[in-house]
Structure 1
Amino acid sequence: MARIKPQALLLQSKRKKGPTRINVTTIIICNLVVVLIVFSLVASYRHLYRRSGSQDGISLQNFENIQVLGELKKYDLPSYAIINTSKGSVTVELNKDASPEIVDKFLDLCQKGDFKGMLFHHVIKNYVIQGGDLQGLGAADDWILKGKPHGQVAISPKHEAFMLGTSKAKQDSKRFDLFITTAPIPDLNDKITVFGRVIKGEDVVQEIEEVDTDEHFRPKSPIGILSITLKQEP
Structure 2
Amino acid sequence: MARIKPQALLLQSKKKKGPTRISVTTIILCNLLVVLIVLCLFGTYRHWSRRSSDQGESGLSTFEDTDSFVVAKNYGSDGFGDSKKYDLPGYAVIKTSKGYITVELFKDGSPEIVDRFLDLCQKGHFKGMAFSHVIKHYVIHGGNSQGLGVAEDWISKGKLHRELITSPKHEAFMLGTSKAKQGSKVFELFITTAPIPDLNDQLIVFGRVIKGEDVVQEIEEVDTDEHYQPKHNVGIIDVTLKREI
TM-score range relative to shorter protein = 0.5 to 0.7
Mapping for residues 1-234 of structure 1, pairs under 5 Å: 73-134=84-145, 136-146=146-156, 154=162, 156-158=165-167, 159-234=170-245
What secondary structure sits across from 2:155 in the alignment? coil
Distance between the aligned counterparts of 2:89 and 2:149, measured in 1? 35
Gaps of 5+ in 1: 1-69
What secondary structure sits across from 2:119 in the alignment? helix
The Cα offsets for residues 14-50 of structure 1, whole Å up to 9 and x where unpaired, read as: xxxxxxxxxxxxxxxxxxxxxxxxxxxxxxxxxxxxx
Q: 1:111 is matched by which residue type in structure 2?
A: Q
Give, in angstroms, the shift of residue 145 of structure 1: 2.3
TM-score, structure 1 normalization: 0.64
Q: Residue 132 of structure 1 contacts residue 178 of structure 1 at CA under 8 Å; is this kept in 2?
A: yes
Greater Rg by CA? 1
Distance between the aligned counterparts of 1:99 and 1:137, measured in 2? 27
Give, in angstroms, the shift of residue 72 of structure 1: 6.8
Give, in angstroms, the shift of residue 146 of structure 1: 2.8
Give, in angstroms, the shift of residue 187 of structure 1: 2.1
Structure 1 residues 88 and 153, CA gap change in structure 2 (3 angstroms): farther
RMSD of aligned Cα (Å): 2.2
Distance between the aligned counterparts of 1:75 and 1:124, measured in 2? 35
Q: 1:186 is matched by which residue type in structure 2?
A: P
What secondary structure sits across from 1:197 in the alignment? strand
Gaps of 5+ in 2: 1-80
Give, in angstroms, the shift of residue 154 of structure 1: 1.7
Q: 1:146 is matched by which residue type in structure 2?
A: S
Structure 1 residues 83 and 147, CA gap change in structure 2 (3 angstroms): closer
Structure 1 residues 112 and 147, CA gap change in structure 2 (3 angstroms): closer
Q: Residue 127 of structure 1 contacts residue 153 of structure 1 at CA under 8 Å; is this kept in 2?
A: no
**Percent of matched pairs sharing the same residue:** 67
TM-score, structure 2 normalization: 0.61
Structure 1 residues 97 and 137, CA gap change in structure 2 (3 angstroms): farther
Structure 1 residues 112 and 217, CA gap change in structure 2 (3 angstroms): same
Distance between the aligned counterparts of 1:132 and 1:93, measured in 2? 20
